[in-house]
Amino acid sequence: MAEIAARTEVGLDHIWKEIDDLGLQLYIEQLDRDGFTVIPPEIANPNGLAERVLEACLDIAVRRNGERPDLENGNSQNPDSPVGDSLKAILLEDPVFEEALMNPALLAVSTHLCGYDVMLSSMNSQMKGPSNTKFLVHTDTRLPSPLPPQSLQCKCISALTDFDRERGCTAFVPGSHKWNRNPEGNETIMGEGGSVKTVPAEGAAGSLVIFHGSTWHGAYNRVVPGLRASLHLLMMRSILRMTEDFYDRIPKDMLERNSARFAILTQQAIIPAYIDKADEHAKVMRALKYTDAFEKESGIALPVKR
Ligand SMILES: O=C(O)CCC(=O)C(=O)O
Ligand SMILES: [Fe+2]
């Protein structure tokens, strides 16, 4: 039964071709088995993307906080936070973030998990220094248990500096995405006093960590000097409410220099709540403009035209 349902899923042939072309088969297998995967820089870091993203993030930190983070020896400004310091809402600040969103490996794997109507919900950068505060194990799907088996959303974490356990990388409970529930009690605690066994998502700078919305995860404390830098993209199915608002906020020239898929990814084809029939009509027509352009560009019909 599941196989028949899967074959009728929109764009399935396209996505398998993308996965094959990019050499991602093994990583998709790991993702489906363990709930997470780490794609190496050879595939996930075209044209030194991560290095350029890191530079742009450091520049934003200077603009916003007046100080350039010291990756070698610095501390978080917020050392009690397990996530360190966040730079939020950065997509519009530098064209390199458009490239980070359009990274073919990121899109292929996000589409495998969430379908061709997947959208960018938020993009932020994190810089984390040494800390003792425990990062609690959680899922990113903000629903009470039981969680649905399909991924409602997925998180893509681009490692901008090396990721390993002592440098405070992301931690996963392999296979937990199949348990369809959130961790509870001491399942949320890693290490002493906890009952979950986590594994580190290790990889050189330029690697891309991607995980299913129901995968239990947290992060290890950094125990060596300096900062771990990462870029986090939350990708969500289009029926959900997005974290950041890109609707009608993407400049025309940005839409023009990118593909029709970029407009879908940046929420241009959503239909926000309407107040009357005329408003509904206007919003549907606006959405259709972007949906049609995408369908023409890709030959892929989006699942629902609302
Ligand atoms: O910082 C990390 O490695 C994980 C953070 C996290 O929980 C997330 O981005 O969903
Ligand atoms: Fe998370």
pLDDT computed for residue 10 by the predictor:
67
Q: In degrees rounded to 5, what are phi and psi of residue 219?
A: -150, 150
* Secondary structure string (H, E, C) spanning 224-243: CCCCEEEEEEEEECCCCCCC
d(CA 33, CA 36): 8
Give every CB contact of residue 262 below 8 A, 6+ residues apart in sequence: 98, 101, 102, 255
Walk across the sheet containing 217-219 and list its strands.
Answer: 199-200, 170-172, 217-219
Atom index in ligand 1 nearest the CA of residue 217 equals 7
User: How many A from CA of 234 to the centre of ligand 2?
Assistant: 9
Strands (E), 161-286: 170-172, 199-200, 208-212, 217-219, 228-236
Nearest CA to ligand 1 atom 2: 170
193 alpha carbon, distance to own chain's centre = 30
In the CATH scheme, what is the homologous superfamily, with its name and number, of domain 15-244? Answer: q2cbj1_9rhob like domain (2.60.120.620)
User: How many A from CA of 299 to the centre of ligand 2?
Assistant: 34
Atom index in ligand 1 nearest the CA of residue 170 equals 3
Nearest CA to ligand 1 atom 9: 232
65 alpha carbon, distance to own chain's centre = 25
Contact at 8 Å (CB) between 238 and 158? no
Cα separations (Å) of 302 from 17, 38, 164, 262?
Answer: 17, 28, 38, 14
- AA identity, residue 43: I
Structure tokens at 283: 């919003």
Nearest CA to ligand 1 atom 10: 140
Question: Which mutation among 78, 125, 126 tests ligand 1's pocket best, with the greatest number of atoms within 8 A of CB?
Answer: 126
Which ligand sits nearest to residue 157's alpha carbon? 1
Beta pairing, strands 228-236 & 85-87: unpaired
Cα separations (Å) of 258 from 138, 174, 209, 279?
Answer: 35, 36, 24, 28
Contact at 8 Å (CB) between 126 and 234? no
Per-residue pLDDT of the chain (306 residues; tens, 9 = 90+): 334 344 445 677 899 999 999 999 999 999 999 999 999 999 999 999 999 999 999 999 999 999 999 999 999 998 889 999 999 999 999 999 999 999 999 999 999 999 999 999 999 999 999 999 999 999 999 899 999 999 999 999 999 999 999 999 999 999 999 999 999 999 999 988 899 999 999 999 999 999 999 999 999 999 999 999 999 999 999 999 999 999 999 999 999 999 999 999 999 999 999 999 999 999 999 999 999 999 999 999 887 555
64-79: buried (b, 16+ CB within 10 Å) or exposed (e) per residue? Answer: eeeeebebeebbbebe
- AA identity, residue 258: N
The Cβ-side half-sphere exposure at 246, using a 13 Å CA radius, reads: 28
Question: Which mutation among 170, 188, 214, 220 tests ligand 1's pocket best, with the greatest number of atoms within 8 A of CB?
Answer: 170
pTM: 0.95
Atom index in ligand 1 nearest the CA of residue 168 equals 3
The domain locations on the chain are 15-244, 245-306
Contact at 8 Å (CB) between 138 and 217? yes
Task: List, chain by chain if needed, residues with CB within 6 Å of any ligand 1 atom.
Answer: 83, 126, 140, 155, 157, 170, 217, 219, 232
Question: Which mutation among 232, 233, 236 tests ligand 1's pocket best, with the greatest number of atoms within 8 A of CB?
Answer: 232
Contact at 8 Å (CB) between 34 and 174? yes
- AA identity, residue 273: A
Beta pairing, strands 153-159 & 119-128: unpaired
